[in-house]
Amino acid sequence: MTIVIKNAEEIEAMRRACRLASEVLDMLTPHVRAGVTTKEIDRLAHDYMVNVQGGVPATLNYQPPGYPPYPASLCTSLNDVVCHGIPDERPLKNGDILNIDVTIIKDGFHGDNSRMFVIGEGSIAARRLVQITYEAMWKGIVKVRPGARLGDIGHAIQTYAENAGFSIVREYCGHGVGRRFHEEPQVLHYGRPGTLEELQPGMIFTIEPMINAGRRDIKEDRKGNRPYDGWTIVTRDRSLSAQWEHTVLVTDSGYEVLTLSAGSPPPPDFVTPALAAS
């Protein structure tokens, strides 16, 4: 499968879809607190995407080969869940960390992003994992420019996370996105600089590192006699895992983060405003 280079019209459509995806997370933020269930968060997001934004939740009934249909309008990955956590009736508790991953389809284009939330105060270790993961994502983003390589992105993320004492999940990666939910290229969050595909203006892809507090090994979530739901992935050692995700456009001079909105967390201090807007 070839990498799709978006034209000006497609880029503008992606800007709209990605902004809407970020605004879903803005809307959800005040509701993400102790006592609220992830099922309720999913209900709020579904109503907002469909009835307010006029979009389609991309994950609802999404079924890639070998998977059952995904049963919710977003993913909620809690504590040791690495990715693809399914919303349920368990209330959030003080000290939990939660990733909410939202993808909306608007006018045929996919906007894809996720954020971490710390419920209540959170432990120092949990808050550090969440912060380092956010900074690692941005370490990858600032490598984006024409002529750079995908390996530059992965190397920057891996080096930053591992120097902080954390590990990078290798089984899942970022991806091209546009008219299809998952397109080429695959964007690894580890690697060697100067390797893999060369970046060109008009490429759009996600950068979404999954970083574990313990070892990088993962497994399907099977607890007791409960059957595997077909989606939920956890850390093998049950350590905490965090993830952030932005969708990024390669511009003529650098990059543009498409999944930004009024409530987006500000970039880290090492990201200059001029660079972030290039």
pLDDT score for 277: 47
Asked if pLDDT for residue 276 goes beyond 60, the answer is no
Is the pLDDT assigned to residue 161 strictly greater than 80? Answer: yes
Residue ranges covered by each domain of the chain? 8-276
What's the rounded Cα separation, in Å, for the pair 144 and 153?
A: 7
Strand order in the sheet with 218-220: 81-83, 233-235, 218-220
CATH architecture assignment, domain 8-276: Alpha-Beta Complex (3.90)
Overall average pLDDT of the 243-258 stretch: 97
On the CB side of 54, CA atoms within 13 Å amount to 3
Q: Kindly state the percentage of the chain with pLDDT values over 70.
A: 97
Would you give the DSSP letter of residue 99? E
- Judge whether residue 275 has pLDDT over 60: no
| Mean pLDDT, residues 75-80 | 98
At residue 190 the predicted structure's pLDDT band, cuts being 50, 70 and 90, is: very high
Residue stretches of the annotated binding site: 84, 101, 112, 175, 182, 208, 245
Beta bridge partners of 242: 211
Taking phi over 0 as left and psi of -120 to 50 as alpha, with beta for the rest, 122 belongs to left
Q: How confident is the model at residue 227 (pLDDT cuts 50, 70, 90)?
A: confident
Binding site, annotated residues for a divalent metal cation: 101, 112, 175, 208, 245
Asked whether residue 278 carries a pLDDT value surpassing 60, the answer given is no
Closest C-alpha among 111, 113, 144, 114 to residue 12? 111
Distance CA 135, CA 59 (A): 26
Lowest-confidence segment of 93-97, 154-158, 227-231, 274-278 by average pLDDT? 274-278
pLDDT at 225: 65
Report which residue type is found at 227: P
Query: With contact defined as beta carbons under 8 Å apart, do 228 and 220 qualify?
Result: yes
Annotated binding-site residue numbers for substrate: 84, 182
The helix or strand, by DSSP H or E, that contains position 183, with its residue range, turns out to be: strand 183-187
- Residue 238 pLDDT exceeds 50: yes
Task: Give per-residue pLDDT as tens, 14-43.
Answer: 999 999 999 999 999 999 999 999 999 999
Residue 2 amino acid letter: T
The answer to whether the beta carbons of residues 206 and 245 sit under 8 Å apart is yes
The percent of residues above 90 in pLDDT, for the chain, comes to 95
